[in-house]
A and B are shown apart, each in its own frame.
Chain A
């Protein structure tokens, strides 16, 4: 039970990143790999500031700002220099590795005997229930804010930008600026996942972001498959299914581990699993034709 509860909490912590990838991949149709760097950036900023005794609110604020800056960088490279979005993301992600290493000062920082968001907002005696409730609270707030934003006039403009650029230009929308803002929001959300995970696992490691984009991608794809299957149009329901995808993905990995799969094989399993999510529907469609 505790094992699966841990997977659920892990899923909740990574859900902010899932929401970020939903914005870039499903709303803007941009393959953004900055995620790997901005996730570690969020964790690195959190670890360094908490170690220096900063209170949690400014740490959250600075994590958001730093993540957003990473997204802005990718956005500027993509829109101003007309570099392909994939390459722009790779460039910024690679650059962020050095930034993160410089911030950390070494390859990892343990967060032992430090007040975390989970202990600061503790309601229960057992730590795991506090982690669960804080994860739910955090995600509840983020999802509500994002769902509200996407229903506003600005949010409609944002959703339209990924849908038809010729239309949005004719509607007075600066597509480039909109993409930069979208990437900033997405990477700020990803950095917030780094913020949560660093405190949940009590350490930040320079390599913790490697391949994390695939976890987010798989989660969003699961959510998207459910959205398409059920024909869901309401944006807040779509966000809910993305969150469900994040949790489901972690659950599936947990099941794999519980079946005795070597943890060293976890990245391979993640890749194969995402490949299956992408590939099986395509094979099924081809068979129907």
Chain B
């Protein structure tokens, strides 16, 4: 459960470039709900995601995750509940570390990183099996540095990494924006299957209207730092592509 109560976020307060990115936004996202967030550039979508993940702290208002007040809790502590896939495929992984090292960190997201060698044969087998399910042929390249993979491969692996440890909330910040159509398809199919399998509460930011139609159980449109439209599954399914385009003028 994600609860945002009267969230306001102002950047550069008191300066000439002061911007109110979010303006008194209140939202309740139920457990297992899959929310698709759309809006023009600068409408506050990513700021909203940052407020949920803890990457940004609100100027006003409160944030609760699973009933717990987390408004001032830093991002690394919120990772107990929240996994995130960044728009930039480089952002969600450590490029110089091997695929295996990246997965080891992901497997310990909610745990202490101890002074013991945790990558054993059993762990390698488990990672290999999971990666094999993607069908990208990466299961035999576990020692390869993450930075040598394509953007699509990295995003698919980042998604897989997000469920290596206990996860309640998955934040997808335009995960396919930097990908070619085929890679984007693989990434979104992987995301959908994992969300269903682990019953994740999900927020997806996208500019792709077809993704908006195809995925999610709720659609929220942001405009000028506010929630402009909030449509449930029925209303979302009735929505035509042309109508959505009209939202952006």
**What residues of chain A have their CB less than 8 Å away from a CB belonging to chain B?**
148-149, 151-157, 159-160, 163-164, 166-175, 233
Contacts and interface: CB of A to CB of B under 8 A. Distances in A.
Contact of B76 (A156, A160, A163, A174): A174
A38 B115 CA distance: 25
Contact of B94 (A152, A153, A160, A174): A160
A152 B101 CA distance: 10
Contacts of A153: 104-105, 108, 113-118
Closest 10 CB pairs of A and B: A163-B94, A172-B79, A160-B94, A157-B113, A153-B113, A153-B118, A164-B94, A166-B91, A169-B75, A154-B113
Contacts of A163: 94-97
Nearest to B118: A153
7 contacts: A152-B114, A153-B104, A163-B94, A164-B91, A172-B77, A172-B110, A172-B111
A163 B79 CA distance: 19
B92 interface: yes
Summarize A's interface: helix, strand, loop or mixed: helix
Summarize B's interface: helix, strand, loop or mixed: loop
B88 to A, nearest CB: 9
A169 B55 contact: yes
Nearest to B158: A167
Contacts of A156: 97, 101, 104-105, 113
A201 B119 CA distance: 43
A172 B74 CA distance: 10
B8 interface: no
Given A152-B118, A156-B105, A233-B145, A170 B94 contact: no
B90 interface: yes
Given A157-B113, A172-B108, A167 B76 contact: no
B9 interface: no
Contacts of B118: 152-153
B63 interface: no
Nearest to A166: B91
Contact of A151 (B75, B77, B113, B117): B117
B106 A171 contact: yes
